[in-house]
């Protein structure tokens, strides 16, 4: 028994009715509630009759459904329906067998996209779905993802997604790392991007000419306001990130050829996990490997290079080499002799 759109609507309606302690729902009331919801969503042609109602209840009570704790209470010559546990809901239960099968079918469809351009996300999504929803028959988890369950700001993600989707203007209270006091401003949200386990919002703030970049973990408050939404005519985000590492695109920054030398032990890792899509190998021998990136130098690139410590050396351009050298000297000063 597949769960289609109309069936899902009916199950949600029945679940709400069964949890309502303030009203006695007889089968006629349940049927009316289901048909009202179906009519509002699809029109009269999707409405059901008594037989389908009882089939729905039977499925919800089954192990293939959600094994709902439903009790039938006699009331005169009639019977009303209510959960024995009013805190129960099908929405806080593990997925049932039918839902699992449908997810498996969806995963099979997604698998056809693996390896295709612009569908790289499928390679990560499929195993994440298979493990998170128990779609593989293994007793223990055997795959972990680099996520931080305590990440601050992740609670804004869903609201921001819908604000972008439905083109809503937002008023945000924001606490920058560089300022002691928080400030609020209006933003027209356009794009969300994750980098280094942090999420960032890109949008238009009328106070500035450039696109604004906000870290979600610095947002303190957010609300939707009734204001005309300004469409994105500023940035093509498919191209915006092509020339940078991370999320920061310096104003007036230009693409430069950054050459890096890695020691022999690190070279295989750099080849299998390039620092940037433009990376290409210039030279490699027993002393090490030289690669070249065509990027706009920014803070994230600096941090990435510094993370390799003594295993990397910046060869050029000279200005960028000096910037990295200066930061290494400043870091060394944190460890005075003695």
Residue (of 96, 148, 110, 103) closest to 130 by Cα position: 103
Confirm if 68 and 55 have CB atoms less than 8 A apart: no
User: To the nearest whole number, what is the mean pLDDT of the chain?
Assistant: 87
More confident site: 174 or 93 = 174
More confident site: 71 or 113 = 71
| C-alpha distances in Å from residue 74, one per residue of 17, 78, 84, 90, 165 | 17, 6, 14, 24, 48
> Is the N-terminal amide bond of 317 cis, ω within 30° of 0?
yes
Question: What's the angle, vertex CA 148, arms to CA 144 and CA 150, rounded to 5?
Answer: 140
pLDDT in tens, 294-321: 999 999 999 999 999 999 999 999 999 9
Which conformational region is residue 74 in: left (phi greater than 0), alpha (psi within -120 to 50 degrees), or beta? Answer: beta
Residue 91 has pLDDT above 70, yes or no: yes
Top mean-pLDDT range of 101-115, 152-166, 199-213, 298-312? 298-312
Residue 149 has pLDDT above 90, yes or no: no
User: Which residues, other chains included, contact 67 with Cβ-Cβ below 8 Å and sequence gap of 6+?
Assistant: 61
Exposed / middle / buried, residue 112 (Cβ in 10 Å: 0-12, 13-18, 19+): exposed
Residue 179 has pLDDT above 80, yes or no: no
Looking at residue 86, its pLDDT comes to: 93
pTM of this prediction exceeds 0.75? no
DSSP structural state of residue 182: -
Arithmetic mean of pLDDT, 117-125:
59
| Overall fold of domain 5-92 | Arc Repressor Mutant, subunit A (1.10.10)
174, β-bridge pairs: 183, 219
Looking at residue 42, its pLDDT comes to: 76
Looking at residue 287, its pLDDT comes to: 96
Picking from 38-47, 97-106, 189-198, which range would have the lowest pLDDT averaged per residue?
97-106
* C-alpha span between 16 and 14 (Å, rounded): 5
Residue 258 has pLDDT above 70, yes or no: yes
Looking at residue 1, its pLDDT comes to: 46
Residue (of 98, 106, 137) closest to 1 by Cα position: 98
Residue (of 320, 269, 254, 262) closest to 290 by Cα position: 262
Looking at residue 252, its pLDDT comes to: 87
Arithmetic mean of pLDDT, 253-275:
95
Token output for 109: 């469809």
Reduced to 3 states (helix: H, G, I; strand: E, B; else coil), residue 239 is helix
Arithmetic mean of pLDDT, 279-298:
96
Reduced to 3 states (helix: H, G, I; strand: E, B; else coil), residue 218 is helix
pLDDT in tens, 13-72: 999 999 999 999 999 999 999 999 998 887 777 889 999 999 999 999 998 888 999 999
* CATH classification code of 154-240: 2.30.30
Query: Residue 85's pLDDT band (boundaries 50, 70, 90)?
Result: very high
Task: For 280, list phi and psi in degrees, rounded to 5.
Answer: -145, 150
Residue boundaries of the structural domains of the chain: 5-92, 154-240, 256-332
Radius of gyration of the chain (CA): 28
* C-alpha span between 204 and 234 (Å, rounded): 9
């Amino acid at each position: 028994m597949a769960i289609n759109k109309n069936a899902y609507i009916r199950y949600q309606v029945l679940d709400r009715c069964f949890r309502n302690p303030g009203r006695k729902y007889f089968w006629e009331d349940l049927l009316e509630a289901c048909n009202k919801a179906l009519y509002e969503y699809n029109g009269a042609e999707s409405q059901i009759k008594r037989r389908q109602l009882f089939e729905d209840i039977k499925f919800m009570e089954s192990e293939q459904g959600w094994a709902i704790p439903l009790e039938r209470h006699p009331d005169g010559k009639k019977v009303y329906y209510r959960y024995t546990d009013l805190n129960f809901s099908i929405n806080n239960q593990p997925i049932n067998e039918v839902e699992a099968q449908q997810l498996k079918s969806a995963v099979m469809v997604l698998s056809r996209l693996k390896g295709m351009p612009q569908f790289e996300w499928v390679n990560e999504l499929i195993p994440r779905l298979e493990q998170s929803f128990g779609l593989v028959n293994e007793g223990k988890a055997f795959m972990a993802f680099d996520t931080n369950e305590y990440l601050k700001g992740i609670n804004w993600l869903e609201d921001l997604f819908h604000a972008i989707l439905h083109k809503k203007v937002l008023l945000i209270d924001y606490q920058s790392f560089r300022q002691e006091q928080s400030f609020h401003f209006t933003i027209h949200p356009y794009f969300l991007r994750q980098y280094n386990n942090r999420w960032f919002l890109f949008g238009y703030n009328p106070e500035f000419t450039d696109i604004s970049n906000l870290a979600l973990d610095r947002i303190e408050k957010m609300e939707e306001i009734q204001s005309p939404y300004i469409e994105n005519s500023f940035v093509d985000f498919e191209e915006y990130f092509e020339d940078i590492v991370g999320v920061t695109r310096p104003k007036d920054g230009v693409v430069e050829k950054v050459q890096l030398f890695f020691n022999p032990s690190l070279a295989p890792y750099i080849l299998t996990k390039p620092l940037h899509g433009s990376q290409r190998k210039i030279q490699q021998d027993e002393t090490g490997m030289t690669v070249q990136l065509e990027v706009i130098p920014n803070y994230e690139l600096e941090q990435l290079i510094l993370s390799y410590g003594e295993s990397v050396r910046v060869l050029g351009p000279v200005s960028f080499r000096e910037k990295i050298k200066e930061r290494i000297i400043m870091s060394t000063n944190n460890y005075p002799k003695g």
